[in-house]
Amino acid sequence: MAARSTPVRKAWRSLSWLAGIIVLLVGLNTAGALWWGWGWAPKLALDLEGGTQIILTPTLEDGQTVTDEQLQQSVQIIRNRIDAAGVSESEITTQGGDKIVISIPGTPDQATLERIKASAKMEFRAVLLAGTPSTSTASPTDEPTDDATASATESPAPTDTPAPSDTPTATPTDGSDTSWITPALQEQYDAFTCDQVQDSGANTAPADEPLITCNQAGTEKYLLGPVEVEGADISDAQAGVKTTSTGSSTGEWVVNLTFNSDGTAAFADVTTRLVSLEDPRNRFAVVLDGAVVIAPTANDAITDGHAQISGGFTQESAKTLADQLKYGALPVGFTVESTDTISATLGASQLQSGLIAGLIGLIVVFIYSLFQYRLLGTVTIASLIVAGVITYFVVNILSWREGYRLSLAGVAGLIVAIGFTADSFIVYFERIRDELRDGRGLVGAVEAGWKRALRTVLAAKSVNLLSAIILFVLAVGSVRGFALTLGVTTVIDVIIVILFTHPVLQLLASTKFFSSGHPATGLDPTALGAVYRGRAEFRISKDARRQGASREAERRQTIAERKAAELEAASTGSKKSTSGKKEAR
Amino acid sequence: MAGPFQRLGNDLYTGARKVDFVGRRRMWFTIAAVLMIASIAVPFVRGGGNFLNGFNFGIEFRGGSQFLVADVPESHIPIDTGLAETAVHDVVSDAVVRVSTVGDDGVRVQTDQLTDQETQQVTLNLEDAYGTDSVSSSFIGATWGADITESALRALGVFIVLALVFMALYFRTWKMSIAAILKLMHDLIISVGIYAATGWEITPAAVIGFLTILGYSLYDTVVVFDKIRENTAELGDDSHRTFGEAVNLAVNQTLVRSINTGVVAALPVAAILFIGAFVLGADTLRDISLALLVGTIAGTYSTPAFGAPLYSVFREGEPEIAKRDKRVRQRRGETVAA
């Protein structure tokens, strides 16, 4: 019995792994329900639950119009931003030629709205002048805003505004040239208070002209040169934690930027130039939507196209900014015209009918597998039920953690996955039967069939997983939701077949009932065309073969073929019979 | 005790009984070609020469008209969304209508793009239905915009290339990859053709159905081709089977699996389609399940009937295989076909 105990022990080990996974999933769900406000059912998508409709109108100056192209581009960027926040399957469209309508499930908070509508136009400008804003209007006692309490430690306390050069406008040679500062501009700068930036929301100037603005906290004001590097030259942006030169984490959140080749060259030029200048003209301002995020001093020339922005980010604000920068700035700014709750377009009855249909489908599959595989069919049923339980928990976790929402199409996808999952079992069972037909004993057939089936299942499921991953990474909108469903069910399927179906069969194969080859097991060797040869060994039954062989096949076998087959049979001797040797008689 | 189906499985396994997919490939190829040509021709005919016009794209793709009913009086709250559907269907009987309530006292009605006259009529109907005179109409753009289609197509292209490479590495031959991809095209063309033929609306759900087929079709191919790989790898010099016969045996040995899988995959989908389309009239379910049903059936059928013979044709021309096949035939005393 020693030979038999190994598969049995392995089987129990696999099953305990599966139990471990289920316990982990249940535990995570329970923890979520207790502490993180999770529910016990997945959240539903827009079509089934409704949500919020947000209408955005572009903020335009007089006489300015928004083109269809700008609107489409905005829709695309907003969709990317929403997608980056999770798999919620929102609907975004244009309305009446100048508005954008966003329908998202649930109720968005202010931060979400901000994230959607902020144009996120980033510019890099050299600092010409920097100073504290005039105290007369920025008095903290007047308006005790939170800005007033923000510290300005990130930059050295600026000295008094350097004496402006009053020279008449010479053509400036570069972005740090003080000849940008005309007397008029100087006057404007002197009178500038940071309230103006906060009131208007964004201060703008054409890219080739200087800009007067403040930092976001309103604690420092700047006169900046023309745009040196544009946000469009950023090829990638990632949120991360700042590390020291020794590699240890400082815990400060930053946004890491990667520039494209144009941006890299421009960035290298500017930083090289700034290093040799005196304060404040050695500083470089990162301007987002007209306000300075940070204006650090350039200590070294940066030539590798990588830059890091720090400036009091939290994890969330760093990620938001990174996403905004990655997908580009909106071509126009938008304001929220209205937000309203909207009801589901499909509603509960459709979901119900989908679930009923799924249940009926499942029952029919059960009946069919019992009919086809007898008792083995119960293994299919049990496997599908375990797969269903795991899928439920995983979808629930994804829903409450990653913002995944179940749409009616998603429900249909899950129902269809029943069939795809069941196929792994069918492939496996058929392989076991093939091995039995080749005359193996049941335990051996299960092991040998498994080896072949696993290879096939893994290869085929890899193709499914590949499609899921690629669609998830490259596609947008509802296609991503589908890809997630496909990927999740594929992985669960493989887990089930390895950790449940196979071990259960190993255990069953060691029972007396199954190894007796009772017809009800669905693994009856005689019925499968093999014949009892000795203890738990079978060889192919000639009678069964003859009985099965149609006359047509007999007729087709020419004398030469028979001879060749006989020759071959003689040469290969009494090796284990393979499928190719039926003619060897 | 062996049931007829099990006996069929036994016979198919030993080769005692077989469906000749490879030998009679001319017939199978003809069937595939006819189906594909029909699937391409139908939308052309329906669209009057324009391929894309042959399909009934949903408002998610084309945009449409939107009506906004505001200030619905107390007497009509809670809002009955059915009234809005009737209001549109009275004017355009076959229009697709999506209704949702907005806030507490508003109704949003989205439908196919209407003419000015129809729009006026629907506006009047809605005013009557909800007892209010503040109904506004506007044009809405596609929620499934060109950018989604573009990104999905790009993803598709990348996937097909990577799947080609993956299968080529796994099977150690490019020819299986190419046969698998051609077979995939066959399945997709037929599924799309069915939509043109029935005139059912192509919604985002249906597109997702097509994507599911894509995965399933290749999946099924890999399962069957893996058996072909096993069987043809065993072919030695002294074998009495030609390459094509070995391929055919592999296909037949997996035929019971193919039938079982096809049935098991199609049953739940058929349940959705039946309940969705005929019992409850749930449009979304109907749209997605038609694509899936056709796709699973086509995907299962075409692996043995199109993919496998195609692969056999690709390989038979190779000098080494052709030489061995010739030897096998000579040994059997058959006259060798030129």
A353 shares a domain with A312: no
How confident is the model at residue A523, as a pLDDT? 64
A454 shares a domain with A433: yes
- CA of B14: which chain A residue's CA is closest? A579
The Cβ of residue B128 has, within 10 Å, a number of other Cβ atoms equal to 12
Considering its fold, how many domains does chain A have in total? Answer: 4
Within 8 A of B111 by CB-CB distance, chain A residues are none
Chain A, window 40-59: residues with a beta carbon less than 8 angstroms from a chain B beta carbon: 47, 50, 53
A456 lies in some domain: yes
Within 8 A of A412 by CB-CB distance, chain B residues are 205, 209, 272, 284-285, 288-289, 292
In this complex, do A423 and B265 lie within 8 Å of one another by their Cβ atoms? yes
How confident is the model at residue A521, as a pLDDT? 64
A338 lies in some domain: no
Nearest to A475 among B155, B296, B332 (CB): B155
Q: What CATH number is attached to the domain comprising A101?
A: 3.30.70.3220
A366 shares a domain with A313: no
A182 shares a domain with A317: yes
- CA of A340: which chain B residue's CA is closest? B103
Of A311 and A52, which is predicted with more confidence? A52
Chain B, window 137-166: residues with a beta carbon less than 8 angstroms from a chain A beta carbon: 138-148, 151-152, 154-155, 158-159, 162-163, 166
Structural domain B64-140, CATH architecture: 2-Layer Sandwich (3.30)
Coil vs helix vs strand at A98: coil
Integer Cα distance of B157 and B169 in angstroms: 19
Helix B319-332 with A559-572: angle, nearest 10 deg? 110
A507 lies in some domain: yes
Average pLDDT value for residue range A4-15: 77
Coil vs helix vs strand at A170: coil
Taking only the tens place, the pLDDT of each residue in A103-126 is 888 777 777 777 777 767 778 888
What is the amino acid identity at position B33? Answer: A
Average pLDDT value for residue range B302-314: 86
Average pLDDT value for residue range A504-526: 70
Taking only the tens place, the pLDDT of each residue in B149-181 is 888 888 888 888 998 998 899 888 888 899 999
What is the amino acid identity at position B58? Answer: G
Within 8 A of A356 by CB-CB distance, chain B residues are 275
Q: Which range has highest mean pLDDT (A399-408, A532-541, B234-243)?
A: A399-408
Nearest chain B CA: its distance from A395 CA (Å)? 18
Domain boundary among A117, A145, A160: A117
Average pLDDT, chain A: 73
Chain B, window 42-101: residues with a beta carbon less than 8 angstroms from a chain A beta carbon: 63, 66, 81, 98-101
Integer Cα distance of B119 and B110 in angstroms: 12
Which sequence spans correspond to the domains of chain B?
A: 4-55+145-332, 64-140
Chain A, window 265-304: residues with a beta carbon less than 8 angstroms from a chain B beta carbon: none
- CA of A471: which chain B residue's CA is closest? B155
Average pLDDT value for residue range B27-43: 86
Average pLDDT value for residue range A126-130: 81
The reply to whether ipTM tops 0.90 is: no
pLDDT at A575 over 60: no
A149 shares a domain with A219: yes
A128 shares a domain with A28: no
Per CATH, domain B4-55+145-332 is 1.10.132.20: no
Residue whose pair of structure tokens reads 């204006």 in the numeric block: A295
A563 shares a domain with A504: no
Within 8 A of B272 by CB-CB distance, chain A residues are 354, 357-358, 361, 412, 415
How confident is the model at residue A154, as a pLDDT? 39
How confident is the model at residue B213, as a pLDDT? 82
Average pLDDT value for residue range A390-410: 84
A480 shares a domain with A379: yes
A282 shares a domain with A193: yes
In this complex, do A467 and B143 lie within 8 Å of one another by their Cβ atoms? no
Of B293 and A534, which is predicted with more confidence? B293
Q: Which range has highest mean pLDDT (A215-219, A410-414, B305-309)?
A: B305-309
Of A161 and A176, which is predicted with more confidence? A176
Average pLDDT value for residue range A325-334: 76
How confident is the model at residue A5, as a pLDDT? 61
Within 8 A of B288 by CB-CB distance, chain A residues are 408-409, 412
Mutate to test the interface with B, among A411, A423, A551, A562 (most CBs of B within 10 A): A423
Average pLDDT value for residue range A401-415: 79
Beta-carbon contacts below 8 Å between A and B: 325
Nearest chain A CA: its distance from B259 CA (Å)? 10
Integer Cα distance of A525 and A543 in angstroms: 13
A16 shares a domain with A109: no
- CA of B250: which chain A residue's CA is closest? A579
Taking only the tens place, the pLDDT of each residue in A225-236 is 888 887 778 888
How confident is the model at residue A531, as a pLDDT? 45
Average pLDDT value for residue range B64-83: 82
Judge whether A370 is closer than 8 Å to chain B, CB to CB: no
Judge whether A339 is closer than 8 Å to chain B, CB to CB: no
Judge whether A150 is closer than 8 Å to chain B, CB to CB: no
How confident is the model at residue A137, as a pLDDT? 43
pLDDT at A539 over 60: no
Q: How confident is the model at residue A239 (pLDDT cuts 50, 70, 90)?
A: confident
Q: How confident is the model at residue A347 (pLDDT cuts 50, 70, 90)?
A: low
A483 shares a domain with A440: yes
Find the domain containing A229 and state its range. Answer: 122-328
A131 shares a domain with A267: yes
Judge whether A81 is closer than 8 Å to chain B, CB to CB: no
How confident is the model at residue A553, as a pLDDT? 43
Nearest chain A CA: its distance from B210 CA (Å)? 11
How confident is the model at residue A473, as a pLDDT? 81
Average pLDDT value for residue range A379-407: 86
CA distances from A548 to A97, A433, A538, B14, B212 (A): 71, 16, 18, 9, 38
pLDDT at A573 over 70: no
Average pLDDT value for residue range B318-328: 81
pTM, rounded to two decimals: 0.71
pLDDT at B240 over 80: no
In this complex, do A466 and B159 lie within 8 Å of one another by their Cβ atoms? yes
Which tokens hold the place of B218? 């290749």
Q: How confident is the model at residue B120 (pLDDT cuts 50, 70, 90)?
A: confident
Of B276 and A202, which is predicted with more confidence? B276
What is the amino acid identity at position A251? Answer: G
Integer Cα distance of A63 and A313 in angstroms: 37
How confident is the model at residue B9, as a pLDDT? 67
How confident is the model at residue A532, as a pLDDT? 42
Bond preceding residue A525 cis, omega within 30 of 0: no
Chain B, window 186-225: residues with a beta carbon less than 8 angstroms from a chain A beta carbon: 204-205, 207-209, 211-212, 214-216, 218-220, 222-223
Judge whether B120 is closer than 8 Å to chain A, CB to CB: no
How confident is the model at residue A557, as a pLDDT? 45
Integer Cα distance of A99 and A262 in angstroms: 33
Which tokens hold the place of A157? 């306390």
